[in-house]
Amino acid sequence: MFERFQTINSTFPRTDHILEYKNRGGLVFGWLCTYVPEEIMHAAGVLPIRITGYNQETELEDGSAYLYINNCSFSRSCLQMGLRGEYEFLDGVVGGSTCDGARRLFDLWRNYIGTPFHHVLSIPRKFTEEAHTLYYQQVVQFMEHLEQYLDIEISDEQLLHSIGVYNESRALLKELYELRKLDNPPITGAETLEVLNASFRMPKEIFNQYLSDLLRDLSASGCTRNGNARLMVTGSVLTNPEFIRSIESQGALVVADDLCTSTRYWSDPVLVSGDITPLQAISRRYLNNFPCARMFPSDERFNRIIELCRDYRVHGVVSQIIRYCVAYAHDMPLLTQRLQSYGIPILALDVEYGTSGSGQIQTRVQAFLEMLGAKVR
Ligand code: SF4
């Protein structure tokens, strides 16, 4: 079951599912930020997939020629893949004004790659009612733009159906994460990241089926994973499972994470209740979701991290921040202070997007584990 997810990730972006979708005449849109509401695209009959960069750290000649070097290597890696035609099958691209790197990536994508449909949402940095009103207007504009472009009307019933499909996916991922709370979970952190990567690279309906099968297999297998310390990984966008594997190769087990490709992607369902419309429910969920470091105040994010540390009985946190990722870099001193006030040690690593974890990183992880009192293999 697990190999299914690996196959999707190793063939992405030209996976069988995406090509089949295109061959049947379906439209595929790429999204660039977790503040882009996928349910709206899904309700319009579009397949939303997440644009990510190369699977491993790589030379970024083209990306760096267009995006100045002090943009993060994630943005440059995505752009390079786009410039080299790896995403030429996309019918649309949707971004969010989350940080300068993501914003400029969108501009250059629109200018040089020429994906037919493009839309960017302005994302407020606060959670106030005024911010919700502003974000809701953005969500409405996005839906109207999509309806106009596709010459369709998206009904409440279609939105409710899509909310159901996405919420099912979130519930299944929650079930998978519950297993990671066990003393000896049946899945490693690196394997979990394979599942997560696939979750935004394929039709959700098929992903839900695959994940249900995996959960059934994991319960039946009796398989257990051991580590001499339980770690959480936090920081910038991360998609290479080899990085987690390199940490786990030092004897630890990664049992929790706060990343836009992991818990922050799936943790909060869309809640439709009372008088609110499906679109209002979607809007509220996306702005109130487990926050990115760009949001203010940071306490909401920090509180959630502390909660995760408690729930997953984490001994230490590994922060991996991509160079020039300002949002996470600037957040670090406050996060360190907060974690230390709870007696949770943190290891801060500067990385490039796609890193598999160098020898130097492994040495630092080893020293960190020794400090945690773990027995390193
Ligand atoms: S949040 Fe950081 S890693 Fe993500 S696009 Fe912005 S600068 Fe790059």
Tokens in use for 241?
Answer: 């499972």
Pocket test for ligand 1, best of 35, 75, 79, 238 (most atoms within 8 A of CB): 75
Pocket test for ligand 1, best of 320, 328, 352 (most atoms within 8 A of CB): 328
Q: How far is the CA of 151 from the centre of ligand 1 (A)?
A: 34
Q: What is the pLDDT of residue 358?
A: 86
Q: Torsions phi, psi of 309, nearest 5?
A: -60, -40
Contact (CB, 8 A) for 115 and 105: no
Which amino acid, residue 124? Answer: P
> Token pair 């004004």 is at which residue?
97
Please give the DSSP secondary-structure letter assigned to residue 200. Answer: T
Q: Against a cut of 0.85, is the pTM above it?
A: yes
What is 2-156's CATH number, 3.40.640.10, 3.30.1330.40, 3.40.190.10, 3.40.50.11890? 3.40.50.11890
Contacts of 371 (CB under 8 A, 6+ apart): 345
Which amino acid, residue 226? Answer: N
Q: What is the pLDDT of residue 1?
A: 82
Strands 346-351, 253-258: pairing kind: unpaired
State the Cα torsion 264-265-266-268 to the nearest 10°.
60
Find the residues whose C-beta lies inside 6 A of ligand 1: 72, 74-75, 99, 101-102, 236-237, 322, 325, 327-328
Q: Torsions phi, psi of 76, nearest 5?
A: -70, -35
- Taking only the tens place, the pLDDT of each residue in 35-90 is 999 999 999 999 999 999 999 999 999 999 999 999 999 999 999 999 999 999 99
Cα–Cα distance for residue pair 26/300, rounded to 1 Å:
39
Domain ranges in the chain are 2-156
- DSSP letter for each residue of 153-178: ---HHHHHHHHHHHHHHHHHHHHHHH
Question: Closest residue (by CA) to atom 7 of ligand 1?
Answer: 325
Q: How far is the CA of 252 from the centre of ligand 1 (A)?
A: 27
Where the chain has pLDDT below 50, the residues are: 375-377
